[in-house]
Chains A and B, each alone.
Chain A
Amino acid sequence: MDFILAGFRKAIELLLHGDAETYSAIFATVRVSSYSMTVSLLAGVPLGFVLGYFRFPGRKQVRIVVDTLLSLPTVFIGLVVYAFLSQRGPLGAWGLLFTLPGIAIGQTILALPVVMALSASAVENMDRQLRITLISLGVNRRQLLFSSLWEVRHGVLAAALTAYGRVMTEVGISMMVGGNIKWHTRTMTTAIALETNKGLFAMGIALGLVLLAIAFAVNLSVSFLRKRV
């Protein structure tokens, strides 16, 4: 028990004194998750809206595929992205293996189905009367789409939060595609795994606390936003 308490004390120390290695992992995590979330949201929300709003041939089949991708194991994504980005792979020339953008590609594959599926569900559950109301009030087709999307903003926000949670906490992709390179591609989760294996709990606990703090801050902001809009 003492070593855990000592680990907590040391963790606070590392954070308060701005330990460079700890902060390097934090910044790497924030950077890479920002990349992946930006792409996932930009692509996933419109695709999810289309999937939930429109009726087109093959829609159910697409939905099944997207729902299946929700449970993609991160190590499998890591494996596939590694294979594509490695020198022998089709995208090897891009030189993205063991880089943060490389990890971001894997994380985007992880987050995109989450954003799509949950946004589509939010749109599907939209009240049928919304469309009637909006047309009755005089929208054109473009306004109908944007106003409908705005009405399901809380559902989309929940989708983004869920995806962000998966991206922030995954280890497999970051470890396999990023290689856990110190000062370079070491993220919070890979650092925690490594330090724990070494029996050094302080940095792991410190990063764990930061992860919790980020999750708390994000949820707080979302809760604030929900009340405002």
Chain B
Amino acid sequence: MTVKDAVYQINDVLHRYAVEPVLRVNSLAIRQAAIVGLIGPNGSGKSTLLRLLGFIEKPRRGEILFKGRPAGPFSKAVRFRVTLLSQEPYLMRRTVFKNIAYGLELRGSRDNLRSRVAEALSWVGLPDEVFADRQWSELSGGEAQRVALAARLVLKPEVLLLDEPTASVDAVSVERIKAAALKARKEWGTTLLIASHDWQWLYEVCDEVLQLFNGQLVGPGRMNIVLGPWQARPDGYWQKVLSGGQEIVTTAPPAADAVAVVDSDRIAVADAIDSSKAGKNILKGTISRLVLEKGSRSTVTTVLVGAMPFAVRVPPRQIESLNLYPGREIDIYFSPNSVKWIHPGDKKTS
């Protein structure tokens, strides 16, 4: 993708807070009006990436281009266009109305404040007459999160960055937040970047899902992460024994504690795989979830092998022919040679 087509272009970005880098992205482009999901375990760098893309912080190295131009914190080019809803949003010590109107006032946009705030509140399912005059301290966690989202939506941003927007809120708030976020994209063509552990939601709504691990992007595509340690086998391969006793077999890792990455596209699923033909890494598991992927129309099938979930991308025809459904026992297979590695120390895939 050329820089011209992208709302963001990241070039050789490295960010650190202390000595160790917390994020390293060599190259990444985000299309305008795309919905991009970010998944990864805690500490994988999702929030850091969103803070950089929100121009809250400046990367220690590299550059982030916004619509082809370099930008940073307080840049005029981005100040009124990009907004971030952080994981634990802060409501200012004032009323709900003043919290939502704050961003509009900064922009000098004071016309019809009352009705615009009321409209924004309605988007997140909070009645204006009940909530507008409430103090920040009079809201539940879910209500505060929705007010914080309303304060961003009222700005009709070009880019909306959501960091775990549905974490630690009630089910009603989750649905409201999801609907309101998608409304921004539908109504104003807002580019959405969403970090979430709710990967089912992300795969359903996102045009692209990026996966982060140890501060770097893995993929493209849905990757399965298998943590070490690895043990050498007499046949020259290495293995990790999963709970339940099944073994994952790989080629030699760069280090015994290296992290294995297996692409969901490189895993096959079948009723009963012939071990004499396929060789190693035939694992018996149980299907726990089927999620339709928005872009490819494939189904991301989660197969539990012991306690370890493997995501496998399965085309629609195969879902039907194999009669896949949650609870069904199935075999998965991948070649030891298809495993890529992340060394925990150098944070580079090999």
Q: Name A's B-contacting residues (CB within 8 A).
A: 127, 129-133, 135-141, 143, 147, 151, 153-154
Of the four ranges (under 10, 10 to 19, 20 to 34, 35 or more), the interface on chain B belongs to 20 to 34
A-B contacts, 19 of them at CB < 8 A, read A129-B89, A132-B56, A132-B90, A133-B89, A135-B55, A135-B74, A136-B54, A136-B56, A136-B86, A136-B152, A137-B83, A137-B152, A138-B83, A138-B103, A139-B79, A147-B92, A151-B93, A153-B93, A154-B93
| B86→A132 contact, CB < 8 A | yes
Residues on A with beta carbons closer than 8 Å to the beta carbon of B74: 135, 140-141
Quick check: is B102 within 8 A (CB to CB) of the other chain? yes
Q: Which of B90, B107, B155 contacts A133 (CB 8 A)?
A: B90
Q: Which of B51, B93, B151 contacts A137 (CB 8 A)?
A: B151
Q: Which of A127, A132, A139, A143 contacts B84 (CB 8 A)?
A: A132
A-B interface, 9 closest residue pairs, ranked by CB to CB distance from nearest:
A129-B90, A137-B103, A133-B90, A136-B84, A138-B106, A136-B83, A138-B79, A138-B80, A130-B90
| A135→B107 contact, CB < 8 A | no
Interface centre among A130, A138, A141 (most CB of B within 10 A): A138
Quick check: is B88 within 8 A (CB to CB) of the other chain? yes
Residues on A with beta carbons closer than 8 Å to the beta carbon of B219: none
Tell me whether chain B's interface is mostly helix, strand or loop, or mixed: loop
| B79→A140 contact, CB < 8 A | yes
Residues on A with beta carbons closer than 8 Å to the beta carbon of B93: 151, 153-154
| A137→B155 contact, CB < 8 A | yes
Q: Closest CB-CB distance, A148 to chain B, in whole Å?
A: 10
- Bound Cα distance from A20 to B80, whole angstroms: 62
| B90→A138 contact, CB < 8 A | no
B79-133 contacts to A (CB < 8 Å):
79-80, 83-86, 88-90, 92-93, 102-103, 106-107
| B106→A137 contact, CB < 8 A | yes
Q: Closest CB-CB distance, A205 to chain B, in whole Å?
A: 41
Given contacts A129-B90, A137-B151, A141-B74, 19 further A-B contacts (CB under 8 A): A130-B90, A132-B51, A132-B56, A132-B84, A132-B90, A133-B86, A133-B92, A133-B148, A135-B55, A135-B56, A135-B73, A136-B83, A137-B102, A137-B103, A140-B74, A140-B79, A147-B92, A151-B92, A153-B93
